[in-house]
A and B are shown apart, each in its own frame.
Chain A
């Protein structure tokens, strides 16, 4: 081998060795900066799948779902999930205007989620209600959520002749604590379960 060939070989070996040694530093320095900061909010069925959601509701029967939050904000999040129930005539959260429902919260669930962390809460709920055959309406007495009884103030659901059901919606609005203002702001996210309250 000539000196020139040895030089090339030496340079290649030194280069490879240098790359191996510098790789821990490169793995820490050559990281693409995060550009999207957001929060995920989801609700899953009893089998942790986006299926088999409860729909036809019977009186005092327990139903299970899973509520989850994924934090990608770049900092630890302090969230508040407002649990609300509405019949179809009442105020709903607006996805386009990004406003929450004007209905009062039945219960607040707090969640602290680390950056890039996930928080999940199994929810078991049931409804206690009466059925008025004369007026064709359901009178809601209470919602029991994870063994906590919540007063529904005898709200009523009237018969929807188009869909042929007593339609209601159990929904969860996400609020986040703003460290600058020191107050909770609507985080422009909600998930809902459309329910048919049956007479049984």
Chain B
């Protein structure tokens, strides 16, 4: 009787230890999954700071490119609008970073970078086009105009001397 009771207690203890082991294993598994998810989605403050700094540098590079294009006389309205958008997003990224919202900060910094894709290349094309345009403008309106004036003056004198000679030969105006 006592033996049967003892074996039943031993069986219960075994069952209880198995349940405990299973619960512990489940808990460890859940914690590992949670940790893995957290590691996968958590944003590191240093990464965000460096992302914002990279965006700031990129904006300065783009600004220098568009300033050169503007100086060459290019129409920069569309590119300036894109740069202003990128600047606004960078300001938002800075603000989110200061408020400790690193996810939003990174998102805004990335959006800002996206706006600047291919920006420098476009600015260089605009600048080169403007330089060529300015060259032709100068050739047509300044050089062409001065050459035209010289032609008019010299031609005028040539015609005058021609008519004068005929007048003197004929003794009257032709």
Chain A residues packing against B (C-beta within 8 Å) = 1, 3, 6-7, 10, 13-14, 17-18, 21-25, 27-29, 75-76, 78, 107-115, 117, 119, 148, 150-151, 177, 179, 182
Contacts and interface: CB of A to CB of B under 8 A. Distances in A.
Given A110-B87, A112-B83, A182-B60, A17 B99 contact: no
A7 B71 CA distance: 48
Contact of A114 (B64, B76, B157, B173): B76
B164 A3 contact: yes
Interface of B: 59-60, 63-64, 66-67, 70-71, 76-77, 80, 83-84, 87-88, 90-92, 94-95, 99, 138, 140-142, 144-146, 148-149, 152-153, 156-157, 159-160, 163-164, 167, 173
A107 B92 CA distance: 8
Contact of A3 (B67, B70, B167): B167
B164 A25 contact: no
Contacts of A119: 84
A174 B91 CA distance: 15
Contacts of B60: 78, 177, 182
A25 B142 contact: yes
A25 B83 CA distance: 36
A56 to B, nearest CB: 28
